[in-house]
Structures are given as structure tokens and as C-alpha cells.
Structure 1
Amino acid sequence: MTESIEETAGPDGTPGPARETAPAPDGGYPAARLRLLQDEAAIGPDSRAALARLTDDWLAGLLHRHATEAGLSGTALVAVGGYGRGELSPRSDLDLLLLHDGRADRGDLAALADRLWYPVWDLGLALDHSVRTPAEARKAARDDLKVQLGLLDARHLAGDAELTGALRTTAYADWRESAPKRLPELHDLCQERAERQGELQYLLEPDLKEARGGLRDATALRAVAASWLADAPRGGLEAARTRLLDTRDALHLTTGRATDRLSLQEQDQVAGALGMLDADALLRQTYESARTISYAADVTWREVGRVLRARSVKPMLRGLLHGRTAGKGERSPLAEGVVELDGEAVLARTARPERDPVLVLRAAAAAAQAGLPLATHSIRRCSAAIATRPLPVPWPAEAREALVTLLGAGSHTVPVWEALEAEGIITRLLPDWERVRCRPQRNPVHTWTVDRHLIETAVRACALTRRVHRPDLLLIAALLHDIGKGWPGDHSVAGETIARDVAARLGFGARDTEVIATLVRHHLLLVETATRRDLDDPATVGAVAEAVGGTGTLELLHALTEADALATGPAAWSAWRGGLVADLIKRVTARLAGERRTEVRDADEPTAEQERLAVEARRTGGPVLALHARAEPAAGTGDGSAPPDREPVGVELLIAVPAHRSPGRRPSTSPAGTPGVLPAAAGVLALHRLTVRAADLLLLDPVDDGPVLLLRWRVAAEYGSLPRADRLRADLARALDGSLDIPARLAERERAYARRARAVLAPPPRVTVVSGSSRTATVIEVRAQDAHGLLHRIGRALEKAGVAVRSAHISTLGANAVDAFYVTGADGEPLSDGAAHEVAAAVERALQ
């Protein structure tokens, strides 16, 4: 057959170069390709590999025939990129490199390339091609990171195998040599792509390749592993990547197009091609795969950063900085059994998760509050431990408080929670979580999947904790408000039942459980009523009042409503909606105005033990202490005893101190000329690293005997052992006589333990006057982020304001302190409104 020269169109439709028209193809490859793609088993790794082999043979035949005809040697055809990995989806691009040793004529090489590329274009296949010598390929790789990444997957197809082998060897050597400089560039590319494409695990129409957690990220992890600097967690990673590739295969076959975007209108067809029940099942599997890849990427890039930082500091200098052998990181304590090491929260050397099932929550809370990632190996140790020795049900108070602390860490909660979820810990702790995990939300208003929306609501609720009297109940309700979406029917109704079970599992009492269930059941009540009902109708306001039952629950529901809307998406909340809800709240509050506030209470009657200590304090004239082990069972034993290698989770500490009586017969919480008892006692506990979970203060003032201040504390060691009672008593005596400078010691302690990365940005403190709560005293309520020395600062501020603390009720709810102080003026009477607000403002300034 005579061949001729003619003008042809290139792959983009523009006039192409003159080329020789070859005889028409025999139909072998196109027909075989079509048969393969029409096979019922055309989706999956075997199909992709078979398509790659079929394409290999076809391209190898083209090179052999045309190179032989042209008399060319020293050439090789190389597959790179996805084709180089042997993974060809039905509409995948072909990434090809025609490699040559530089001895052939350029014109002959161009003619050979045309005879290779045009048959590919004639079949309608996308092609990324280049013609280079090994030296040119290496230079292109140095200039272009994407070219360098493609060469890491180089695979020989035909021609001179030694030429390909030498290029692969040098490509890997160049990559490992340049990795310290190029990995940060690769990380930047991944982040820029994520900002453009979003997170695959939350998108209703995700791009399977380009979105964060997609196939591009999986390829980047392979490149990191090839650098030998770090490696990704392997558990489930390959299976996740395979599922995304299978989904792309089905997408290509159902659409007939080379697309990576899983559009809504195509999801049912793709699900059917994969043998799935429906589009929701498809999206859930896709989200789970993306979540696995995203988590692996987070861990891997964190490890890359750690390795590169370590390489940037010379070993000798590192040893001088840390005062220890080079290579050993400095450990800073975060909580009992948890330390900071190399920018991560890790388990301490002495930690025993198999004996301490609360440790995983304590570590997660400490990491989130410090704004640190939780080390993968530590999570896995805890995961293995709780699989064999789970938390007792109901949970002990320490576990419940740790969960609330974790949820109250703001945006830092999200990565820690996702790390726990990636290792299967969340569903072990909260089995009902499995039904909402990775569950898509088809409403376009929603930004997140159900589970991420719940966490995002807790993040938003964290900023509103100063508005409510029970921030712990707000955060738990935020976590559970949509938990019913995993069940058929009205998710609010189903969620109420689940919330009751979960709250009981967490160890909440009957009253708190009822509040949580009410919040979940009615989490849509306020916004739906405010925007759809006539607020001037008394029946409307009455129905809401009846549903919530009290002002305390109404206050929590208002905050939950706002947090839920803000976490849903930008279209779910506005100033208009907020104004309508606020108006409804005002009307319902007026309806419930007769309700007595139950969250702030006056002093309780002293117990027999407190009376005994008061008598002893009067007799000795000094402070008297008594410590009692908490009756609550310690986690992991179920019988009230502590695990063999741990201290009891907390103690009750009773302190009785004689108080000074002024000439006007007003008892003072300060012995004459000495610091106040409340700030002194609180400061001593802070110095000994005791966390105050709850406290009550009561002033006994009988007519005949001297007044005595009684303080009852529920405390726990933040880490380490509980201090001895005699040391506490000695330090308290020194604080009361003025020989122990507590503010200076606390400041010194803070400097010594100052961390490089500080804790979350908490909402500012809020100090208010609670009117109508007592006829004999003024109630000052403080809501603030719990911190070392917080109660000491409050006590000092009240002392400087010249008021007497008659009683106090201290509560630490997770990371939030909610404290109420009953104070009187110099005459023993409640403060005037103006004076009360001045005291509140002074305390608030002292806490800022």
C-alpha cells in the first residue's frame, strides 16, 4: 500500500503537522478494549490491570513496528503517572514518555512520536506525552515538581529496558536527595488544591481526584513514602484508594466521559454499577474512604514536618538547647499520663492504658485544650486497651468531665475527634455514633455530613458557654441533637430516645438526662416557631413554655439553636432569624418568670463532720484539714477501688478556718491583717496542682462561739500523686499568716510550665449579678474558662472589693467554671444594685 503525506487535525481540532497516513488499524485493540469495558466485571483492580496490559501490548507493538521500520535504536516507551502504576480507568489519560539516548536524528524521532501519538488520539483517548533524553527528563523533573512525581511511577513498556531502568534509578535518587526541599512544595500544592476543591468527605458533588482526601492525595502519600523521610499509616489506606478508583471506573462507564466529579444526577447510576443500595450508600462509602486518606495525610505531613525540623537543627545544638542527649525530645506534662513531645500530645512513659480506660479521653481532652495533635501511636495503644477493657457503664465522673472538656476546646476539638474516630475509638465509646458516621445530608443548606455537623455544633456552642448556667449540658446536647438522623422517622423524636440512653451511659443523673433529652427533642422548636408562628398569640408562647419547662432549659435551648444554625451553613442563620428567636425567648421568659432559679442555691446546713472540724478549728485557732476518698467507683474496677498503679481519681477535702469578727459583729473571711481564707486556700490547692471540680463555702457564725469558715472541696491531682495533708495544712497556715506569697508563686509556676503552643481561645469571662436569688445576700455569678489559680484570682478580687463571702458554690464543668458567690457589705446586708454591679465589673477585670 502506498503511503502519502496529508495535513491532519491535532487532538484539539486545530491543524496538525503533516504526517504519513498509516494503514487503517486492524481493529484488534479497539475491539478488545470495547469488549473489556462492556464486561460486567469491568470495574475493579483486575479490570484496571487488564486494561493496562491490553494498552501496553498495543503501544509496545506500535513502537516495535515503527522503530524497526525507521531503523531506530536506543529508544524506550515509558508509562508514567497513573498509567505507570498500571491503573487505567475506562477514560483515564495515557501519560507517555518516549525516551531516547540522544543519538537518533530529531526528525526521525518526531516522525516516530507521531506514529505513536496519533493512533491514541484517533481513538479519542486523552494523551499527555513528551520526547526526552534521560538528562532532559531529569532537568524537567528539577524544574517541575509534577514531572518529578510522574517519574516515580515510571514503568517500561517497550524498547531499551536498560534506558528505562537507568532513568527510574536516577529519578528515585534525585527525589530522595531533593525531598527535604521539595516535600514542603508538595505540601503547599496539596493545601492549595484543597482550598480550591474542598474536602471530599463533606461534598455533595465531590471531585474524586482533586478534592482533599482524593486520589491526588493518595498519590502524594506514595511520593512521601518514596522519599524515605516518613510514611503514611497503612491501615485501610490501600482499601480506601481502591474504593475511590472503583467509583471513578463506574463514573466513567455510566457517563461515557473522562470526569472525576461525582454529580448528584449520576450518583444513583454509579451506585447501581457498584452494586450498592442507593446514592446515600455510595456517598457514605466515598466519605469513609476520603476520611481515611485525609487522616493518613494529616499524620504523614505532621511527621514530615517533625523530621524536617529535626534536620534543620544540628545535633550538638539540639543537645545544648535541651540539656540532654541529642535526639531526645523534651517532655512537658499536660495531664495525668499525658505529656507534650515534639509538638504532639503523647502518653507518658508510665501510662498504662490497659489499666486506665479513662486515659484515652483524658489524653484527647488535654491535646485539644493545648491545641496539639494526639500522637497516632498513643491513640492506637488506647484503642487496643479499650477494646479489651472498655469504660464501665455508666461512665465515671472523670470520663464524663474529660469528654465535656474535649468538646469545649473549640476548633481544636475537630482534629482530635477525627483522629479518635479514624482509629475506631468513638464508636467504641458511643456505639450510637456509628449510624451517623459519614452519613450524607442531601439538604444543600448543610455544609457537613451528620457526624461532622454534630462536632461543628459543639465547636460553635463552645463560644456560647458563657451564656448558660450548664455549659456541660449544652455541649453534650450539641453533640447529640441530630443523633436520630441514623434512624427512620422524625429524627428529633428518635434522637430524644437515643439521647436518654447516651446521657445515662455517660453517667448523668435523672434530672440532667431529662434536660438533655428535652434539648434534643426540641432543638428545632425555637427557630421554627419564631419564623412560622404568630408570636403575638399567647398560645404560641404558652406551647414553647410548656415544652421547655423552665428558664434554665430555655437558656440552653436558645444557645443550642444558634450553635446548630451556625454549624449548618451560612444560609441557616441571619440577624433577622436571630432577632425573631430573641423576641420569642423574651416572651417565653416572661411567661416563666415565676419559676425559681434552681441553678444557684444558698448555703446548705453543715454536716456532722463539718461541725466537728469547726469545733477543732475554734479550739486550736488554726486551719484544720480532713481528706476523704471519693465514694465514686474508680474507672476500670467497678467496685470503688482504684486500679493498682493509680491514685484515687479524687478526694473530698474539708477545711475549717477561724474567721475574724469585726467590732461591728460582722464576721470576716479574713483574719485581721491576713489574706482572705478563700483566695489563700484556692491558691494553695493551685500550687499543689490540684484541680477543683466542685466546692462549697459556708460561714458558721454562732453567737457565743467564734465564726468559722468551712470549705468543702472535691479535688483531683492534675498529674502525679495527691499531696500529703500535712503539707497542705502547713502551706495554708503560711498563706494565712502572709509568709507564703501565693501570687508570686503562681506566676513562677506559670512561667516554668509555659508551653510553646497555648490553649484554645476561650470566650471571655462573664461576671453577672443574679437578682432575686437571695433575700440575705447578693449573688455574684462567674462564668469563665477553668485555669490554674482562677478561684484564687476571684477570691482576691472579692477581697479587694471589700465584700464578705458568706457562702460560695463552685462548679467546674469540663473546661468551664461556673461559680456563685453570696456576698454582703460591711453591714452584713446585701449590696445595693450599683455596688453589686461595681463588684461584678471588678471581678471581671481581674480575670481578663
Structure 2
Amino acid sequence: MTGTDMHDETEDSGPGGYAAARLRLLTEETRSGPPRRTALADLTDDWLTGLFAAGAQGARGVSLVAVGGYGRAELSPRSDLDLLLLHDGGDPRAVAALADRLWYPVWDLGLALDHSVRTPAEARKTAGEDLKVQLGLLDARHLAGDLGLTTALRTAVLADWRNQAPKRLPALRELCEERAERQGELQYLLEPDLKEARGGLRDATALRAVAASWLADAPREGLAEARRRLLDVRDALHLTTGRATDRLALQEQDQVAAALGVLDADALLRQVYESARVIAYAGDVTWREVGRVLRSRAVRPRLRAMLGGGRPTAERSPLAEGVVEQDGEVVLARTARPERDPVLPLRAAAAAAQAGLPLSLHAVRRMATTARPLPTPWPAEAREQLVTLLGSGRPTVQVWEALEAEGLVNGLFPDWERVRCRPQRNAVHLWTVDRHLIETAVRASEFTRRVHRPDLLLVAALLHDIGKGWPGDHSVAGEVIARDTAARLGFDQHDVTVIATLVRHHLLLVETATRRDLDDPATVRAVAEAVGSQGTLELLHALTEADALATGPAAWSSWRASLVTDLVGRVRAVLSGDVPADPGGAAPTAEQERLALEAVATGAPVLALRAQTEPPAEPSGDPEPLGVELVVAVPDQPGVLPAVAGVLAMHRLTVRTAELRALDLPAGVEGSVLLLDWRVAAEYGSLPQAARLRADLVRALDGTLDVAGRLAERDAAYPRRRGVVAPPPRVTVAPAASRHATVIEVRAQDAPGLLFRIGRALEDAGVRVRSAHASTLGANAVDAFYVTRERGVRLPGDEAVEVARKLEETLRG
């Protein structure tokens, strides 16, 4: 039945005819979704037009206008009718009589009605005072009467909206944020409000209003489809419940899924979450653009005056190779070539998270469409950038969402699609599976000071529930996926095994601690056998807490924490036979021995730079760059560690790994030499020449180069961004780690000059660094220093603790 057929019937039978036609339309199985909403709007238009014609009797200067959702012709079965009776200020009694002829038939049918009677001036005045009224008028649509009156109002309202946009749009954004605070995020709620929650229909309407301002526009890809899907779910919800409700309650989800032909309630929720995610992400991008435009408008006159009337250009600050900051976003450098640089997406994401900045939509889309896939296994830099991204704390969430919105995450982790937007029907869980995994990584980043291998902790946090996309025990399935993924990421066999063990047993500690008798030796022995080593136990303890905290408030408590800690202590005692061996280096290579002999002969430092590569991913490909090896041989003397570290920091070289040890010289050669074998990377641009590094190192050792002053000047000129709040550094003593030296362990946020500060603080404490093992794991520095007194003996316990305390105070300062 067409809209015209329905109109003919309603003219004959009045409101009863409209009601019958409406009922037939809503129960017609062959028509649903947008066609049914359009047909319902057409049917209602025809009925109201007939009522208006009968009541107006040819009167001029009055019109009937649909606003809000009805103005957009988006009538769900139980939607309100939003109507405005517009008049030019003529006979008030005639207008009132006409309003009665319109409103009462609507009420008689039991339809919800939101109505008003105003002149154009009154409508504009009310819109200026009430943002919600103004938003409704933006969708005004003429139904009947004086078309010129409606058109004039529409034109004036749109002009007002555009003229007032600098003031109204911030107010609209505030409304959206307040609503999100009250209603939560649609993409994570088990009983979501399809209209009011963040990412719902009201946010989609707000994006239309922003577009109407001409100030900014939302990303179009997928937005219309997401909005349509939410409207379809709301239609089915109205028909299923027979109520004007927007809340998708648990007890109604199966029926709604069946009405839409969806497999089950989980599949329904997943579709809702996917739609909400599209709308929420579009909102984030759009509101950033609005803020940027408004800021540029505010500063443009002053900038033009400063530039002599010229056009200002946005400043670009480098963040990483191929990645810059521009106007509060992370964008690609002009020289960046995603098609040649497969690591660029991860490098850009890590830089954005570390800086606490959003990734530009344009940059993400360019990388998604042009970036070359990473080889298998991943190169070392890709793995390091992933760890940096995961270890950046709360900013990781926003950056990950941007990558996911454009399909980059699925490209990096093919198994991610199975957990994406997957609901968790458990009141304890706050998030979908995928967001829970990211939230666990965020929580785990707070514990990176507690573990020796934060990179393994962060990757295991990302993967620990990845098996929930498969049938059966998700820990068992997850172990298989984690093993495959870790190998693809380029971890060695030992690390792959550790990650797989963490995923397989990520529930072991909390379940055993709360469900088994810890006084039974068999209980503790079983856990020890499953874990296998002290290092894995340490990681599993941190992962357990991060997982629980990321689940929700009900999943963790001081009681649970105490039980788990008790269990860990008992298991550690069982595993205590694995005492770490004393540090020992491999025999020097011929090249290292040559450098050492030259250093002894000249009495000065000698160094060599050599590029390191790993085999190509494909037989015909080029070797993958691994970094640059820097080998320095220095006659044994105080201050070597801070001198070398400080010079490298001055030259903007990032230390990835570092080994320092005393070298045994061949028989007959007098003197002693410290050998430093480090892997470094240039922060920006190319590496400095070895001759320049050596010259500065000589000056640093003889005291003619003020390394500390130079680093302080650089830090003052380029202050570090404060967008990321890192956990404080932690310095501890490992008393049983060596029989010949005191081992001081440092875990801190990686930063330029960190090794210099540590080395200088240890020198100031009057201890000698006999061996050092430093590594940068993502954003974390994990360093161990084997120190002795001047006579080469271990520090007494109290003195070692005091040295560690002072070093931690120095790093915190």
C-alpha cells in the first residue's frame, strides 16, 4: 500500500482510518527499516495535512511544521510527534482553534505529542534561549499551510545557528559530555540506552547539527549505516515491547534479535556496539576539529598582526621518525612514506600515546590504505613500538580506538576481529572483550616497575583473553593464539613460551588463592609446576592484578590481593632453588679485544659504530635494520658510565640495550679496560660520526665538557610533554643475585639522559659499577647495576639499601 493509498483511506475514515493503516504498516513483514520509517512518516504527513486543511479552512499566515526526529522523517513505531504550529501573529482565537483541531485527534489515538504554537520571532527567541529547541528546528520540515512562512523560519534558524556557532557548539559539546556522564558509553553497556548513551542516536543528531554550522563535518564513512542500524534496533524494540522505550533491557534482547533476524542476543549487542563505536569515534574527531577551528579563529587576528598580515602556518614539532605534532594532533611528516615503511603505523601510534595526543584521522586513513604489511616475524622496531604503545597508560585507549576504527588493528592482529565488540554477559565486567584487553594493558603499565620484563607483561595483558572469540576454555584457546602471535611479533622461543604460559594461566593465581587450601603443600606445588620459574611467577602476579582491576571494582579487593600475595610468596619459596647466576660476559670477540688493546696503548677511549641487521622476511628482500651497535673500550677509571651515557644523550641517541663489563686482557698486558657494548638508534635523522662521539667522550672524561649543563639546556629548550603520567621510578636491591657484587635494579620511564643520571648518582655514592645490563622495553628502562666498593667487595646490606634509596630520590627529582 503506497502513501497515496493510505491517504485516500484516512480522508474517508478519519482518525480511525489512520490508526488502521498505521497498524497494518507496522505489522507488515515485508517492509522494515528505512522504508517503513519513511512510509510511516508519509502516512502521518498525509493524515496531519488533512486535519490541517479541515481546520484552517484556507486561512493564510499559518503553517504546520514537523521538527526533531519527525522532521527528519525518522518515525519509529512509538516515536513522539514533534510539531510546531507557526503563525504570523494574526487572529489568536483562530490559531488556538486550529491547534485544538490538530492536537486532540493525536491525543485521542494515544500518540505522544510534543507541540508548540509560535510566531517566527517567538520561535527564534526560544531557540536562542534553549539549545534543544534550536536543534529541533534545524530539522524543521514543512507539512501544510503557508510554505513561505516555514521557509523563512528555516532560513533564519540556519543563519542564526551558523552565526552563533562559536558560542553554541561548545554548549552542545558540553550537553553531549554531560549526557555521556549520566548514561555511560553505549558500546560497553549490557542494557544500553540507544538514544541517550554516548555513541547513540542523540550524538548522531549532534553531528548533523555540527555539519549544519559549516564549521566542521563528521567523518562520513560508516556513519549513516551505524545510525540506520540503531534506528532499526529501536524500531524492533518498540514493536517487541509495545512501549516508547530506548533502553535495550536484557530480558528483551532475544526477542529483538529474532525480530531483526539476528542470530542471538550477543550478535545483536555486537551490532549495537559496532554502530555506537562508529558514532562515538566520529564524535571525537568532529569535536577536535571544532575546537581547532574555534582556536584558529580566536588567534588569527593576533597572528596576522605578528606576521605583518601574512597567512599563519601551523607549527610542526617532530615526535619520531616520520611523525610530527601539528595543532594538537599527531600527523605524518611530509617526508613520511607509509608504503615504504611498514613500522610507521606503530611508530606513529606509540608517539601519539607517549605525547598524550590523538592521531589525526587523515594520518590514520592514509596509513590504513597505503602502509605495507609488516613482515613475519616483525622487525625489532615494530615490536618495541607496540610495547611503547601498550605501556603508555591511559592515552593508549584513544590511540588504539583510532587504529581500530580504520582497520589497522585487524591487520596487525588477525585474531582481534573475533573479540572486537564482543559483549561479556557478566555483571562484574565493565567492558567488551576487546576494550577489556586494552584496559588490562593500561593497568599493567602501572606495574612495569614491579617486573623484570615489562614487555612480556604488556603483550600478555593484550592477549590474555584473546581466546574468548573461540568455543571452549578461552585460556586453552588463548594459549595457542598467544604462542602464534608472540612468534609472529618476533619474540624468541623462551619469551614465546613465557607469554603463552601467562595467557594459559592468567586466572590460576586468583582462582587458586580463593578456592583452594593454601596450607596443602600439593596446592602450592601444583601452581609452582604450572608457572615454572620465578620470572614467570613475577609476571603472572602483575598480570593477575591488572586483569582484575581492568574487569571492574567487584573483581578485586584488599582481601583478594592479600590471598594472592600469600600464594605468590609460598610458590616463590618452592621455586627458590632457581638462584640467579652471577653476571658473566661471553669471551670478547676479536674486534672487542683489538679495541681494548688500542685503548690500553693510547690511554684514551676507542669506539666503533656498526649497523646491525637481521635476516630479511623474504628471500629476495633486504635485511631488516636492527639498530646500530656502539662498542666503546675505555681504560678503567671513575665516571665511565655517566660520561658515555651523557655524550650519547647529547647527540640524541636512544639506548636500546647496554652492557658494561670489565674485560680480562691477554697475559702480559698491563692495565684494565671497561668494555661497553650498546645498541643505539638516532632519535631524529642520521647518526653522528664516530670521531665526534670520541672527541666529546674524551672531553667528558677529562672534565672539560659539562655534560650535565648541556643536557639541562636542551631539556629547558624542549620541555617534555606532560600528557602522560608515568608511574614513579623504583630502585631495589637484589641481595641474592650475586656473591661478588651488590646488584641494584632500576625500573623507570625511559627518557633522554636517564642512564647519565643513574651513572652519576652511583658515582656520587662512592661505588664502582663493575657490570651493567640496561635495556629499554617500550617506554620502560629496566636496568641492573653490579656495584662494589673501591676495594672490589660487596656493599653491606644497610649501605646497599641506602644507595638504592638515594638513587630513587634522585630519579624522582
Correspondence 1:209-248 to 2 at 5 A: 209-248=195-234
5+ long unaligned stretches in structure 1:
1-21, 643-647, 660-668, 671-675
How far 1:597 moved relative to its partner? 2.9
Partner of 1:543: 526
- Alignment partner for residue 782 of structure 1, among 746, 762, 770? 746
Is the 8 Å Cα contact of residues 458 and 479 (structure 1) preserved in structure 2?
yes
Q: Which residue of 1 aligns with 2:7?
A: none
Amino acid at match of 2:771: S
1:839 pairs with 800, 803, 807, which one? 803
Task: Give the SS at the match of 1:716.
Answer: strand
Contact 1:357–1:636 (CA under 8 A) maintained in structure 2: no
What do residues 715-766 of structure 1 show as CA deviations (whole Å, max 9, x unaligned)?
Answer: 11122112121221121122112121111111111122225x4241111111
Question: Does the CA contact (< 8 Å) of 1:602 and 1:822 recur in 2?
Answer: no
Equivalent in the alignment of 1:330? 315
For 1:657 and 1:480, locate their aligned partners in 2 and report how far apart those are by CA, in whole Å: 44
The alpha-carbon deviation at position 835 of structure 1 amounts to: 1.3
Residue 421 to residue 479, structure 1, CA distance change in 2 (3 Å): same
Please list, as runs of the form range in 1=range in 2, the aligned pairs for 1:800-839 lying within 5 A after superposition: 800-839=764-803
Q: What are the residue-to-residue correspondences of 1:568-587 with 2, within 5 Å?
A: 568-587=551-570
Residue 145 (structure 1) shift: 0.5
Contact 2:377 2:617 in 1 (8 A): no
Partner-residue secondary structure (3-state), 1:202: coil
**Counterpart residue identity of residue 652, structure 1:** E
Rounded to whole Å, the distance in 1 between the matches of 2:219 and 2:12 is 51
| CA distance in structure 2 between the partners assigned to 1:413 and 1:627 by the alignment | 35
Deviation at residue 233 of structure 1 after TM alignment: 0.7
Distance 1:108 1:440 in 2: 56
Match of 1:127?
Answer: 113
Equivalent in the alignment of 2:143: 157
Is 2:613–2:626's contact at 8 Å kept on the other side of the alignment? no
Aligned partner of 1:19 in structure 2 is: none
Q: CA, structure 1 residues 324+407, in 2 after alignment: closer, same or farther (shift >3 Å)?
A: farther
Structure 1 position 262 matched with structure 2 position 251: no
Alpha carbons of structure 1 residues 141 and 682: separation in structure 2 relative to 1, 3 Å: same
Judged with a 3 Å threshold, the aligned counterparts in structure 2 of structure 1 residues 758 and 160 are, in CA distance, closer, same or farther, namely same
Match of 1:173 in 2: 159
Q: Check conservation: 2:52, 2:144, Cα contact below 8 A.
A: yes
AA aligned to 1:832 is: P
How far is 1:27 from its partner? Answer: 2.4
Alignment match, 2:103:
117
2:609 counterpart (614, 627, 634): 627
Mapped partners of 1:501, 1:26: distance in 2: 66
> Per-residue deviation at 1:637?
9.7
The reply on whether 1:654 has 2:666 as its aligned counterpart is: no
- Aligned residue identity for 1:289: S
Partner of 1:366: 351
Tell me, yes or no, if structure 1 residue 741 matches structure 2 residue 726: no
Separation (CA, whole Å) in 2 of partners of 1:75 and 1:519: 72
Question: 1:810·1:819 contact (CA, 8 Å) conserved in 2?
Answer: yes
When residues 638 and 542 of structure 1 are mapped into structure 2, their CA distance, relative to the original with a 3 A threshold, is farther
Q: Does 1:304 align with 2:290?
A: yes
1:201 is matched with 187
Aligned partner of 2:85 in structure 1 is 98
Aligned amino acid, residue 377 of structure 1:
H
Alpha-carbon spacing, 1:561–1:690, altered in 2? closer, same or farther (3 Å): same
- Structure-1 residue corresponding to 2:761: 797
Give the alignment of 1:138-537 within 5 angstroms.
Answer: 138-317=124-303, 320=306, 326-386=311-371, 389-537=372-520
Q: Secondary structure of 2:554's match?
A: coil
1:123-167 alpha-carbon deviations (Å, 9 max, x no partner): 111111001111111001101001111111000000011111111
8 A Cα contact 1:652 1:715, kept in partner:
yes
Alpha carbons 1:319, 1:326 under 8 Å: kept: no
Matched, 1:727 2:692: yes
Secondary structure (helix, strand or coil) at the match of 1:50 reads: helix
8 A contact 1:651–1:716 mirrored in 2: yes
1:696 maps to 2:683: no
Deviation for aligned residue 1:649: 5.2
Q: 3-state SS of the aligned residue for 1:340?
A: strand
Give the equivalent residue in structure 2 for 1:11. Answer: none
Cα distance in 2, alignment partners of residues 350 and 23 from structure 1? 71
Residue type of the partner of 1:224?
Answer: V
Distance 1:63 1:72 in 2: 10
Residue identity matched to 2:768: A
SS in 1 for 2:553: coil
2:614 is equivalent to residue 685 of structure 1: no
Cα deviation for residue 633 of structure 1 reads 4.8
The one-letter code matched in structure 2 to 1:128 is D
- Runs of 4+ residues over 6 Å off in structure 1: 634-638
Cα 1:834–1:748 shift into 2, 3 Å: same
Q: Give the AA of the match of 1:492.
A: S
- Report how many residues are paired: 800
Choose the corresponding residue for 1:49, options 26, 35, 38: 38
1:338-364 alpha-carbon deviations (Å, 9 max, x no partner): 111111111111111111010110010
Q: Distance in 1 between matches of 2:616 and 2:316?
A: 27
Question: Contact (CA 8 Å) 1:603, 1:808: kept in 2 or not?
Answer: no
TM-score, L = length of structure 2: 0.96
For residues 758 and 52 of structure 1, what CA distance do their matches in structure 2 show? 52
Q: Deviations over 1:606-658 (max 9, x none)?
A: 2221111001111222111111111225789974446xxxxx55200111111
Instruction: Report the Cα distance in structure 2 between the residues aligned to 1:26 and 1:186, rounded to whole angstroms.
Output: 38
Maintained 8 Å contact 1:407/1:475: yes
**Of 65, 70, 93, the match for 1:83:** 70
- 2:766 is paired with a residue whose SS is coil
Moved more, 741-750 or 757-766: 757-766
Specify the alignment match of 1:13 in structure 2. none
- How many angstroms apart in 2 are the aligned matches of 1:474 and 1:146? 48
SS of residue in 1 equivalent to 2:584: coil
Alpha-carbon displacement from aligned partner over 1:642-695 (angstroms, at most 9, x marks no partner): 6xxxxx552001111112xxxxxxxxx32xxxxx11111111111111111101
Question: Partners of 1:824 and 1:249 in 2: how far apart?
Answer: 75
Report the TM-score, using the length of structure 1 for normalisation: 0.92
Q: Aligned AA for 2:351?
A: A
The 8 Å contact of residues 613 and 623 in structure 2, kept in 1 or not, is answered as no
Output the amino acid matched with 1:63: F
Amino acid at match of 1:775: R
| 2:5 equivalent in structure 1 | none
**Structure 1 residues 118 and 807: alpha-carbon distance in aligned structure 2, compared to 1, 3 A threshold:** same
Distance in 1 (CA, whole Å) between partners of 2:483 and 2:279 is 34
Displacement of 1:315 in angstroms is 3.4
Cα deviation code 1:462-510 (max 9, x no counterpart): 1111111100000000000000000000000000000001101111110
Q: CA RMSD in A?
A: 1.7
> Distance in 2 between the 1:501 and 1:640 partners?
25
Task: Name 1:666's counterpart in structure 2.
Answer: none
Separation in 1, partners of 2:684, 2:228: 44
Q: Report how far residue 317 of structure 1 moved.
A: 2.9
Identity %: 75
SS in 1 for 2:79: coil
Counterpart residue identity of residue 365, structure 2: R
Letter in 2 for 1:505: R
Q: Is the 8 A contact 2:613 2:627 kept in 1?
A: no
Maintained 8 Å contact 1:267/1:282? yes
How far is the alpha carbon of 1:228 from its aligned partner? 0.6
Counterpart of 1:589 in structure 2 is 572
Which one-letter code corresponds to 2:585 in the other structure?
A
Cα distance change on mapping 1:120 and 1:533 into 2, 3 Å: same
| 554-563 vs 719-728, which moves further | 719-728
